[in-house]
Chain A
């Protein structure tokens, strides 16, 4: 019973996030685009050293409700693009941790790792 209380609470929080903490972004893979509500994560700096060359990028996570995303795209893929406030972000593998993961209950909200590319 207590498990259900917590599960219900997480689902309620996810629905509140969806309804009150989102902006519409454009998710794009090739020619396919989807306007979808997303919660914008905190921007952060990312650096990677390779052969003495330092690459840096601004990273942002986007939180998107699974049922609004998966009918069009199934799972996020590296190289997909998200357009938000005229800036373009690209889905990427964040330091070997993968390019997306579940946020909260599996099957509920997708957390997608991106870096700004334009």
Chain B
């Protein structure tokens, strides 16, 4: 299988195996084409999406594969503006907990992949929150594999 898809699967498996450690109940899945109908986002949704791969020379015989994986956290929010704000704060905390969980973590089955960094910028999609009351936050994880 593709290296970047392998890493995405490994990230998804880590989340699935340790779902009980998170404050929210969720299911995660790898999606190659992330597309959702808003009415299907009533339950918290976590998706893992292969993003990019950059190959650079490391030594004369080794190459450095920089792999990027996106993790999307999505949920349709309900209620008054104050209730929406409270839900956004809870979901930001949940998104941070995913980030904290994966920081420095060795992926089961992909031990050669070294976690480099996690980005969460922007923190969440403000336009989607305003227009559609949908919380979307994307974590971009970067892994390095030398081979």
Interface of A is mostly: loop
CB of B131 within 8 Å of the partner chain: yes
CB of B18 within 8 Å of the partner chain: no
> How many inter-chain contacts with C-beta < 8 Å in the A-B complex?
72
Assembled-state Cα–Cα distance A51/B121 (Å) = 10
Q: Which residues of B contact A118 (CB under 8 A)?
A: 39, 42
Which residues of B (1-57) have their CB < 8 Å from a CB of A? 34-39, 42, 47, 49, 51
Q: Which residues of B contact A11 (CB under 8 A)?
A: none
CB of B61 within 8 Å of the partner chain: no
Question: Which of B72, B76, B127 is the one whose CB lies under 8 Å from A53?
Answer: B72
Q: Which residues of B contact A116 (CB under 8 A)?
A: 38-39
- Binary CB contact string for chain A from 29 to 71 against chain B (1 if under 8 A, 0 otherwise): 0100000000000000000101111111100000000000000
A51 and B132 within 8 A (CB): no
Distance in Å from the Cβ of A59 to the closest Cβ of chain B?
10
Which residues of A (87-118) have their CB < 8 Å from a CB of B? 90, 92-96, 115-118
Question: Which of A51, A52, A96, A117 is the one whose CB lies under 8 Å from B38?
Answer: A117
B128 and A48 within 8 A (CB): yes
Q: Which residues of A contact B132 (CB under 8 A)?
A: 48, 55, 57, 92, 115
Q: How many A residues face the partner with a CB closer than 8 A?
A: 22
B138 and A53 within 8 A (CB): yes
Assembled-state Cα–Cα distance A115/B128 (Å) = 13
**Interface residues of A, Cβ cutoff 8 Å to B:** 30, 48, 50-57, 78-79, 90, 92-96, 115-118
Sampled A-B contacts (22; CB under 8 Å):
A30-B80, A50-B125, A51-B136, A52-B34, A52-B51, A53-B47, A53-B74, A54-B36, A55-B38, A55-B128, A55-B132, A55-B134, A56-B35, A56-B37, A57-B37, A57-B39, A78-B130, A79-B80, A79-B81, A92-B133, A95-B131, A117-B76
- 5 nearest A-B residue pairs (beta carbon): A51-B138, A57-B38, A54-B35, A93-B131, A50-B125
